[in-house]
Amino acid sequence: MSTFFAKANAVERKWYVIDAAGLPLGRLATEAARILRGKHKPTFTPNVDTGDHVIIINAEKVVLTGNKLDQKMYRRHSGYPGGLKETPYRKLMQNMPERAVEHAVKGMLPHNKLGAQMYTKLKVYRDENHPHQAQQPEIWTIQ
């Protein structure tokens, strides 16, 4: 018997909703990255995007443990000399909690074109409202 390799055009994709309320940011991000990558499926193939779509709701209610709200910094660079911008996570969680969740999940995906393709299947929303009811998403629970 030969090893199964998934074909990109034969992958069936589902939609999952993850409620982030009360979950630690890292645990939420690892589970979302696992679904986006397709590691929860028996047909997982490392060089093919076999993952599903993920909708994360209640991003503003995600939790950072310890002193991370004050000590952890969100960093971005403009590309110009001296263009490093730093924002504490407390301010980021007040203004743009979606970006904090997206940044955490993106860091757990492969850092190449395949990872960028997987990242496009992630949708993050501040509260419980999302416009993807037509896709009939299933609820994914995290213990």
pTM comes to 0.93
Is the distance from CB of 19 to CB of 143 less than 8 angstroms?
no
DSSP for 58-117?
-GGG-B--TTHHHH-EEEEE-SSTT-EEEEEHHHHHHH-HHHHHHHHHHTTS-SSHHHHH
**How would residue 1 be classed by pLDDT, with cut points 50, 70 and 90?**
confident
Percent with pLDDT over 90 in the chain: 98
- pLDDT at site 143: 76
| CATH top class, domain 15-90+109-139 | alpha beta
Mean pLDDT of 101-116: 98
Residue ranges of domains in the chain: 15-90+109-139
Is the distance from CB of 16 to CB of 137 less than 8 angstroms?
yes
